[in-house]
Structure 1
Amino acid sequence: MKGLVLAGTASGVGKTVATLAAIRALDNAGYDVQPAKAGPDFIDPSHHAVVSGRPSRTLDPWLEGEAGLRRAFWRGDGDVCLVEGMMGLYDGSEVSTAGIAARLDLPVVLVLDASAGMQSVGATALGFREFAARLDRDVDVAGVVLQRAHGGRHEAGIRDALPDDLAYLGRIPPMADLEIPDRHLGLHRGEEAPVDADALDRAAETIDAAGLAALARTPPRPSAAAAERDSTSGAEATSIGMASTADPEVRVAVARDEAFCFVYPSTIERLGERADVVTFQPTAGDPVPSCDGVYLPGGYPELHAETLANAPALEDLAARASDGLPVLGECGGLMALSESLTTADGETHRMAGVLPADVELCERYQALDHVELRARTDGVTARADESLRGHEFHYSTASVGDDARFAFDVRRGEGIDGAHDGLTEYAVLGTYTHCHPESGAFDRFLDVASERAGVADRRGGRA
């Protein structure tokens, strides 16, 4: 499988729509497209999945480590892997689109917003290509796609201004029905607000699919060293793509609905490699299935707080947590496990009451960062003194009780900054941090669930 990266000059230039149009163009030309997303985002990949018909791979060296990044790429399947970048090409202290492209040796196609320029758009492209020379890693800016560009003189003027060695790969005309609505945490998800299919077809007609495919390159495969502990992420190489220890007698329940929708495909794959995975929908009134562990992913519980307040699943969690059922709640899962949730309009709703916290939505985001967690004691996702890397992005804040116990110290930048994460009670962990399975967090969770399954077998059944 070959690949290439679609990168922007900044956030908001239209990378997601350009990526969707390129996926459609390649598909129409007969190529089998595997989408991917640079960075930790959950929302853009949901749009990729709707258009391509397959899960979008997450490519983030902070979350996955160097070897894990390559494993994540090669777990995809297709002729061409189209990677949507994050923010602007060079933006990001620990993780940038440029760094990911260089690590995978993939060419970069620059998405340029041409709505208010002509020859100056060519100057921007030239500047982004030349800036690569200032970096330690090689970044190959090889082509451009114009976003919000008219045909005729507008398109011709920009093409004439481009450097000769930058491939022109087409344009996306300005169309209102190509815009994706947004809200806090980003765009609406692909399942909620899919891009108009007819508009996407029209945009794909002006994309050079053959040119994109010709630029794509095959990145290095994971080396034999991937079987050793990855020093970047702290994850065991066996966590993804290596030998599994599948045990159909271990069952993990995963919440999957509008309130709990931020899940990496690799997470479900890894859980399925070692356990029987069953899903349930708390907002639809489903109870928690018979299981040895529960995973509550992030999402939008704040948009469904009233429904969740009366959901049988939250009552089940409250009852079964005290009996030792392992539960992992990430961000939205943390919110659902708390005492209460106050929405942006000031309405307060009762939640599961497992964790001693009251959560309140804020007008601005409260955290947006890659983080490193150091475990204080043995827990659901790590043993004492082990480190996990993850990502947090949330608009809520949690007020905790005096008796709150934290599982992790949080490291940002050069050292421990005094922050804590991971409220824990019984075998329940609620954390604002999203972890990728390459971190090893879900292997530890599966170990704890397996131990629980052994106890349940001796007692004559599951909880």
Structure 2
Amino acid sequence: MRGVALGGTASGVGKTVATLATLRALDAAGYDPRSAKAGPDFIDPSHHAAVTGRPSRTLDPWLEGEDGLRRNYWRGADGDDEVCVVEGMMGLYDGDAASTAAVAAALDLPVVLVVDASAGMESVAATALGFREYAARTDADPDVAGVLAQQAHGGRHEAGIREALPDELAYLGRVPPDDALELPERHLGLHGGREVTVPEDALDAAAETVRAERLVDLARTPPRPESPEPARPARDRTVAVARDDVFRFIYPATVERLRERAEVTTFAPTAGDDLPECDGVYLPGGYPELHAADLAASPALTALADRAAEGLPVFGECGGLMALARSLTTADGDEHTMAGVLPADVEMSERYRALDHVELRAREGTLTAAAGDALRGHEFHYSECDPDRDARFAFEVVRGDGIDGERDGLTEYRTLGTYAHVHPESGAFDEFVDAL
């Protein structure tokens, strides 16, 4: 499966819209477009999936390791004429070991640089050449091979950009200025792809100005992983996964891994679903604060509290942690009763409280790690969790903020709630299934 990485000169340069236009252009040219996202983001991949109709992979060296990253990339391949577009995060070189440059280098993918061309022509070429020359100064040393001009008009504007580019930088087209291509934002980033989509006619128009055939010529096939995914046997167990407007932050690879190890059933707490018969429950992250009243009224939350007290294994990440707490107070000051499994109260803030890759070390054996094991993930939340003084924590924080700066992983009965989102390549979900 050939691929390219779309890296930006900075955050907010329009990488997501450029990625969507590129995916649509590849489809129109007769190729089978696939998508992925550098970094731990859940939201941008939802927009990719809305365009391609397929899950978008998450590629993050910190979460997965280099071999895990390659395994995850190749999980998305299953046919002919596939071309994968990997949307970068932030600026090309931002993010240390998990940067877009690091992802592109690990996969040996050429980088197409997305440059804001709204107020420049020759300067677009100068910017791109600077990014290309800077690569040699980095450990990743990515191959910056082309330019996609964002917010560029046709005619003289486009011609000026194209003619100024040196031979070593291919011109891959442009995304025209169009208010219809703007994606609205809120806390935690863009609105999700299930809520807000780019109008079809605007996306089609943008795709017509992307040079799909030239991009395919540029694309390369990444190396296969050096080691196979560690094998663990399937178990005769059922995992119930919450999936609705609240619990929406889940990696495709997580569902895949759970289905390889156990039966998976889904339920929608805010739609009135009750908790299904199961041997364990996974509550992904999401937006409890936007649907707190519906969540508080859910029969599934009441059943979950009862079953957790009986010893049912329950794993909640971020939004899942919030749902498992006693109460959730929104930014408007409204307090809602949650499941009450974990001895803590959660309150939303107007600004984010944590944003980082994290590393946790298990203080004791828990649902997702053996005692002493390190677990990597990421955190991004606008809430503060206030646990009881005698609350028990499963993890020490090696990097990141966790719940109180030093600890994460509130635990009660056989329930674990953490602010860290983890990827299945961490082994956390294998440990979870084995604990059922």
> Take 1:292 and 1:418, find their aligned partners in 2: how far apart are those partners?
32
The aligned runs of 1:253-402 (5 Å cut-off) are 253-402=240-389
Task: Find the counterpart in structure 2 of residue 44 from structure 1.
Answer: 44
Aligned length: 430
Q: Is the 8 A contact 1:244 1:273 kept in 2?
A: no
Q: Is the 8 A contact 2:360 2:399 kept in 1?
A: no
> Take 1:403 and 1:190, find their aligned partners in 2: how far apart are those partners?
41
How far does the alpha carbon of each residue in 1:34-59 deviate from its partner, in whole angstroms, 9 at most, with x for none?
10000100000000001011100111
Is it true that 1:68 corresponds to 2:71 in the alignment? no
- Please tell me the residue identity of whatever aligns with 2:315: L
How far off is 1:418 after superposition? 5.8
Q: Find the partner of 1:104 among 103, 107, 113.
A: 107
> Take 1:66 and 1:148, find their aligned partners in 2: how far apart are those partners?
34
- Secondary structure (helix, strand or coil) at the match of 1:110 reads strand
Is it true that 1:433 corresponds to 2:433 in the alignment? no
- Secondary structure (helix, strand or coil) at the match of 2:142 reads coil
Task: Find the counterpart in structure 1 of residue 93 from structure 2.
Answer: 90
> Take 1:385 and 1:246, find their aligned partners in 2: how far apart are those partners?
25
- Secondary structure (helix, strand or coil) at the match of 2:248 reads coil
> Take 2:205 and 2:155, find their aligned partners in 1: how far apart are those partners?
16
- Please tell me the residue identity of whatever aligns with 1:366: R
Q: Is the 8 A contact 2:49 2:55 kept in 1?
A: yes
> Take 1:118 and 1:162, find their aligned partners in 2: how far apart are those partners?
10
How far off is 1:136 after superposition? 2.7
How far off is 1:244 after superposition? 4.7
Task: Find the counterpart in structure 1 of residue 170 from structure 2.
Answer: 167
- Secondary structure (helix, strand or coil) at the match of 2:244 reads coil
How far off is 1:173 after superposition? 0.5
- Secondary structure (helix, strand or coil) at the match of 1:24 reads helix
Q: Is the 8 A contact 1:4 1:107 kept in 2?
A: yes
Q: TM-score, normalised by structure 1?
A: 0.91
> Take 1:264 and 1:210, find their aligned partners in 2: how far apart are those partners?
30
Task: Find the counterpart in structure 2 of residue 116 from structure 1.
Answer: 119
Is it true that 1:245 corresponds to 2:237 in the alignment? no
Which stretch of the first structure deviates more once superposed, 333-342 or 134-143? 134-143
Off by >3 Å, runs of 4+ in structure 1? none
Q: Percent identity?
A: 71
Task: Find the counterpart in structure 2 of residue 149 from structure 1.
Answer: 152
Task: Find the counterpart in structure 2 of residue 128 from structure 1.
Answer: 131
- Secondary structure (helix, strand or coil) at the match of 2:125 reads helix
Is it true that 1:8 corresponds to 2:8 in the alignment? yes
- Please tell me the residue identity of whatever aligns with 1:391: H
Task: Find the counterpart in structure 1 of residue 84 from structure 2.
Answer: 81
Q: Is the 8 A contact 2:258 2:429 kept in 1?
A: yes
How far off is 1:215 after superposition? 0.4
> Take 1:332 and 1:192, find their aligned partners in 2: how far apart are those partners?
18
Q: Is the 8 A contact 1:409 1:418 kept in 2?
A: no
- Secondary structure (helix, strand or coil) at the match of 2:201 reads helix
How far does the alpha carbon of each residue in 1:220-262 deviate from its partner, in whole angstroms, 9 at most, with x for none?
1012xx24xxxxxxxxx41xxxx45223x31000000000000
> Take 2:233 and 2:139, find their aligned partners in 1: how far apart are those partners?
40
Q: Is the 8 A contact 1:368 1:393 kept in 2?
A: yes
How far off is 1:161 after superposition? 1.7
> Take 2:239 and 2:54, find their aligned partners in 1: how far apart are those partners?
23
> Take 1:402 and 1:285, find their aligned partners in 2: how far apart are those partners?
34
- Secondary structure (helix, strand or coil) at the match of 1:83 reads strand
Task: Find the counterpart in structure 2 of residue 457 from structure 1.
Answer: none
- Please tell me the residue identity of whatever aligns with 1:63: L
Is it true that 1:188 corresponds to 2:191 in the alignment? yes
> Take 2:352 and 2:12, find their aligned partners in 1: how far apart are those partners?
18
How far does the alpha carbon of each residue in 1:131-176 deviate from its partner, in whole angstroms, 9 at most, with x for none?
0111133310000101111111111111122122110010010011
How far does the alpha carbon of each residue in 1:103-129 deviate from its partner, in whole angstroms, 9 at most, with x for none?
111100000111122221111111111
Which stretch of the first structure deviates more once superposed, 127-136 or 262-271? 127-136
Task: Find the counterpart in structure 1 of residue 28 from structure 2.
Answer: 28
- Secondary structure (helix, strand or coil) at the match of 1:354 reads coil
> Take 1:433 and 1:340, find their aligned partners in 2: how far apart are those partners?
20
- Please tell me the residue identity of whatever aligns with 2:295: L
- Please list every run of 5 or more consecutive structure 2 residues that lacks an aligned counterpart in the other structure: none
> Take 1:446 and 1:327, find their aligned partners in 2: how far apart are those partners?
11
> Take 2:86 and 2:225, find their aligned partners in 1: how far apart are those partners?
18
- Please tell me the residue identity of whatever aligns with 1:27: D
> Take 1:130 and 1:219, find their aligned partners in 2: how far apart are those partners?
23
How far off is 1:403 after superposition? 1.7
Task: Find the counterpart in structure 2 of residue 459 from structure 1.
Answer: none
> Take 1:392 and 1:90, find their aligned partners in 2: how far apart are those partners?
20
Q: TM-score, normalised by structure 2?
A: 0.97
> Take 1:35 and 1:181, find their aligned partners in 2: how far apart are those partners?
21
How far does the alpha carbon of each residue in 1:255-312 deviate from its partner, in whole angstroms, 9 at most, with x for none?
0000000000000000000111000000001111000000000000100001111110
> Take 1:418 and 1:217, find their aligned partners in 2: how far apart are those partners?
42
Q: Is the 8 A contact 1:309 1:351 kept in 2?
A: yes
CA RMSD, Structure 1 to Structure 2 (Å)? 1.1
Q: Find the partner of 1:203 among 206, 227, 238.
A: 206
- Secondary structure (helix, strand or coil) at the match of 2:152 reads coil
The aligned runs of 1:217-256 (5 Å cut-off) are 217-223=220-226, 226-227=227-228, 237-238=229-230, 243-247=231-235, 249-256=236-243
